[in-house]
Every structure is written in C-alpha cells, then in structure tokens.
Structure 1
Amino acid sequence: MRLPLQRGFTLIELLVVVAIIAFATAGVSFALRDTAASQLEREAQRLSALFESARAQSRTAGVAIIWQPAEGGFRFQGARAGTLPEQWLSDTTVLVQGGPVLLGPEPVIPRQAVVLGSTTAPERTLRVETDGLRPFAVASDGQP
C-alpha cells in the first residue's frame, strides 16, 4: 500500500525561515537607526569644519570672523553673507558651554573650545576645540 505524497513545509522549516527574517529585520533596523549620539557627532564634526572654513576665509580676506551662538543656531560675524550656514543640522543640538569664538585673521588664535550637547541625550557632550595652532578637532567631554 502506497502512502499519498504530502505537500507543504515542516514546522522546523517554517521556524528557520521566521528566524532568518527576524535576524534580517533586526540588522536592518540597527543599520538605519540614527541615534542622538551619532547626530551629535555629526554636528560636532560639521562645526569643526565650519570653524576651519571660516578661519581660512578670515585669513584670506584679512578680516576677523567671530562665531556666536544665536537663537536656533549660530552666526559668523564678519563672514561674507551666504557663505557659511547658520543653523544646526538637528533641532536637538544645543550649545552647552562656550561663547564667541575668534577665527582669525591671525595665523595663531587663542585656545578656544565650545561644548555641544543634545536635548535627547543630555548626558553626552562633545567638545570642539583648538589650541590655537592646530585645526579645530572634536573630543569627548568626558561623559559616556
């Protein structure tokens, strides 16, 4: 007597497929997540680059450029209009410490630093600083 052929999947096969889909979904969600820490790091790197750009512009034009925090962003006094942005990339970025930053026109500027934080992760801050000789760089401000 012959048994009829059974069609379909076994429970083990279905569980393996569901597990693979779960791992793939978790991997994609972690890859796409833009945490407050990465946003803050991006803001600090951007501000460091903007400081260097303003510093070069100041030396080229022979005019002092001063970075100042402003409501909802910042401004570069003395820079040519429209050459440098005036807003943070994220609405959650805040200036924790620091104030006007002199960016030239002398090749050696005073030691300066600003500390950036995020309203969504207030325990984490980053420092954008220079010793006056080297370019601005981003450093952890000692928080986790």
Structure 2
Amino acid sequence: MRTSAAGNSARRAGAFTLIELLVVVAIIAIAVAGVSFALRDSGATQLEREAQRLAALFEAARAQSRASGVPVRWRVVEGGFRFDGAQPGTLPEQWLSPATQVNGNALVVLGPEPIIGPQQVLVASSAVPGRQLRIATDGLKPFRVSAADAGS
C-alpha cells in the first residue's frame, strides 16, 4: 500500500521531534533553577536583616528609656541578647538566625538622656565568614547599619 506525500506530511505536522522536546525540557530546567535561586534567602541577606532589626530595636529601646527615665542597657547573652531596664516582654531577646554573632563590645547604653555617647556593635554570621556589619550611632543620630571590615 502506497501513501501519498500529502498524507504523510499531515501526520507529521501534529508530532514533536526529540530535539524540540529536549529544548523545552532544558528551558523549563533553567526557569526552575532561576526561581529557586531567587527564592533562596542567602546568608548575607539574613545578616543584613538581622542588623536592620537590631538598629530598629536600639531605637525602640532608646525611646522607651527616654519615656520612662530609666537607662536601658543592651547586652549579649547565650542564645540571644537582653535589654536590661526595658519593660519586660516589650522587646525581643533572640536573633532571627542562630548563626548570628556579635564581635567586639557587647554592651550598649541607650538613654535616658537625649544625647548618648558614640556606640557601635559589630554583627557577623557564621553563614557568611569574613563579613561584618556595623550598627552605630554618634550619639545624636539614630543607629545606622554600614559595612565593616573583618579586622575592625
């Protein structure tokens, strides 16, 4: 039995070749990899989030100290940190990431005077070796986060 050329090409028009299927699978794999990298929370991002959170907590404790007239002292404790002098239960006492650590001075005095001395804290993460962030104030301005050299 003989098939016509027109009938043969009509049958092939609805089918995919192996190469076309491999190209589609490769495109899907690249898209999935890109999405997984975009959704992953890197150690550097976690460290930045931790530093911004601590700066905001310092400002909250500073405001609380000025309102109550009682000095608030921040210090590192095992597994987290503590705000001595703050109203109990108003400020968190744990890091967002267990990999977070404080380098250097681990005591910050926050008020009650409107002007406090220059203070800084260096935070790092065991997930990002060699990277530190400085949370500092000159005593007048709010606490700010900036990059710090590993040796500072």
TM-score under structure 2 normalisation?
0.89
Q: Which amino acid counterpart does residue 98 of structure 2 have in structure 1?
A: D
Structure with the larger helix share: 2
User: How many correspondences in the alignment?
Assistant: 143
The reply on whether 1:68 has 2:70 as its aligned counterpart is no
Question: Equivalent of 1:119, from 116, 120, 126?
Answer: 126
CA shift, 1:15, in A, is 2.6
Q: Which amino acid counterpart does residue 30 of structure 1 have in structure 2?
A: F
Identity of paired residues, percent?
A: 60
Matches within 5 A, 1:35-114: 35-114=42-121
CA shift, 1:14, in A, is 1.1
Give the Cα–Cα distance (whole angstroms) in 2 for the partners of residues 18 and 46 of structure 1: 42
Give the Cα–Cα distance (whole angstroms) in 1 for the partners of residues 106 and 118 of structure 2: 13
Q: Render the CA deviation track for 1:25-74: whole Å, top value 9, x for unaligned.
A: 11111111111111100100000000000000000111100001111110
TM-score under structure 1 normalisation?
0.94
Q: Which amino acid counterpart does residue 86 of structure 2 have in structure 1?
A: A
The reply on whether 1:9 has 2:16 as its aligned counterpart is yes
CA shift, 1:12, in A, is 3.2
- Structure 2: unaligned runs, 5 residues or longer: none
Matches within 5 A, 1:118-137: 118-137=125-144
Secondary structure of 1:80's partner?
A: coil
Give the Cα–Cα distance (whole angstroms) in 2 for the partners of residues 71 and 62 of structure 1: 28
Secondary structure of 1:31's partner?
A: helix
Q: Which residue does the alignment assign to 1:34?
A: 41
Runs of 4+ with >6 A deviation? none
CA shift, 1:11, in A, is 2.7
Give the Cα–Cα distance (whole angstroms) in 2 for the partners of residues 142 and 73 of structure 1: 23
